Amino acid sequence: MRYPNGKTYQKKESDNKTEKTHRTLLSAANRGMSLEEDINLSNDYYRDMGIALINKRPTPINIVKVDYSKGARITDAYFEKQSTTDYNGVYKGRYIDFEAKNTKSNTAFPLSNISEHQIVHLKNVLKHGGIAFFIISFQMKDEIYLLDASFVINFYEHGDRKSIPYEVFKKDAVLIKQDYAPRLHYLDAVDQLYFK
Amino acid sequence: MRYPNGKTYQKKESDNKTEKTHRTLLSAANRGMSLEEDINLSNDYYRDMGIALINKRPTPINIVKVDYSKGARITDAYFEKQSTTDYNGVYKGRYIDFEAKNTKSNTAFPLSNISEHQIVHLKNVLKHGGIAFFIISFQMKDEIYLLDASFVINFYEHGDRKSIPYEVFKKDAVLIKQDYAPRLHYLDAVDQLYFK
């Protein structure tokens, strides 16, 4: 198993330490690491362990100019807006689709950086029987939650404020365990919400 | 419904013409159009009609330099090899994953442009209960087939020759009906292979 950075992962003594110690080590190790990196590494782990196959969609880029004299080097291009979510794949035969976001707020998750397109996409996922959710990191609290997409869709379309209060996460989301391998045990949260 | 090119699609008299006429019109209309475009338009149709949600993964690009003075313009980048397949999504609650390829050969589909990575990916899809297949266009015959990924994996790993004979397609693949909307009725072939 390769984890992380392509190195072979082997179970070490330290893996058997208590969860509390893990969390402490982790918080230090994670400083400066992004939620995206944590999810990517977790997906590598889940894939290599044969648990699930979930990938990040590449960022869509509109290519304007390619220099073939340099072996197909792109010399002019720009980022396009993602019209879907960042992650999808298959777990226990089910289609999985999710978006991950950070917030520095302690009181609510602002919906301002979720696009109308993504809401439409997630409604479609639910309609066709897929599993759709958000992974939201409250950075200041060091808490990461998995919240079913239906809550986000509902707040987006019918909420008074353009945010989801922290209390909704405490009540309706599942707190994701942070660890070493996988970094985020987010499929445990998926099991709890969708496979019970 | 938008189809194609963002225009609203409305059922026209011509839609009621016989399939033979359709096919004749189509062959002319399609000249110069790519398999990829046909699949993308079919996916637009399936999405807009609420039948399935299947998207093309963006081509992965490694970004070397971004000019922020021009509003995040990418000035140096290169194409990365796709380590997965080109398409995935959800249909009737199931995870769908496939790759599309053309061949100018009349006798066999050469496996040379399928990467080891893609074979590993497709084996993983099958392992986790997803539906995995190839859409192969025999361009000279104007025939497009849907073949379950297990055949491709088997020929890739155990075949004597680095190709799959045309006869295998005649026997084990499903011929995809070509039409106007959708261009390729490939989900009919999926129904036939996986939902009977």
C-beta neighbour count of A164 within 10 angstroms:
24
Percent of chain B with pLDDT over 70: 83
According to the model, what pLDDT value does residue A32 have?
41
Confidence of residue A157 (pLDDT cuts 50, 70, 90): very high
According to the model, what pLDDT value does residue B11 have?
42
Contacts of A91 (CB under 8 A, 6+ apart): A51, A52, A53, A54, A131, A187, A190, B128
Q: Is any Cβ of chain B less than 8 angstroms from the Cβ of A75?
A: yes
Predicted confidence (pLDDT) per residue in B65-97, tens digit? 999 987 889 999 998 887 899 999 999 999 999
According to the model, what pLDDT value does residue A140 have?
95
Q: Cβ contact (<8 Å) for A50 and B76?
A: no
Confidence of residue B29 (pLDDT cuts 50, 70, 90): very low
Q: Cβ contact (<8 Å) for A57 and B59?
A: no
Predicted confidence (pLDDT) per residue in A3-15, tens digit? 444 444 444 434 4
According to the model, what pLDDT value does residue B83 have?
84
Terminus-to-terminus CA distance in chain B, angstroms? 29
Q: Cβ contact (<8 Å) for B93 and A61?
A: no
Residue A104 has pLDDT above 90, yes or no: yes
Apex CA B28: angle with CA B25 and CA B30, to 5°? 105
- The segment with the largest mean pLDDT, out of A57-61, A161-165, B168-172, is B168-172
According to the model, what pLDDT value does residue B160 have?
75
| Per-chain mean pLDDT for chain B | 86
According to the model, what pLDDT value does residue B32 have?
41
Residue numbers in B near A84 (CB within 8 A) = 55
Computed on alpha carbons and rounded to an integer, the radius of gyration of chain A in Å comes to: 18
Confirm if A1 and A48 have CB atoms less than 8 A apart: yes
More confident residue, A3 or A178: A178
Q: What is the ipTM of this complex?
A: 0.80
Q: Which three-class secondary structure string do you get for A79-136? A: ECCCCCCCEEEEECCEEEEEEEEEECCCCEEEHHHCCHHHHHHHHHHHHCCCEEEEEE
Query: Considering the entire predicted model, what is its pTM?
Result: 0.82
According to the model, what pLDDT value does residue A33 have?
63
Q: Cβ contact (<8 Å) for B58 and A53?
A: no
CA distance B33 to chain A (A): 20
Domains, chain A, with CATH or none: 35-194 (3.40.1350.10)
Contacts of B16 (CB under 8 A, 6+ apart): none
Confidence of residue B113 (pLDDT cuts 50, 70, 90): confident
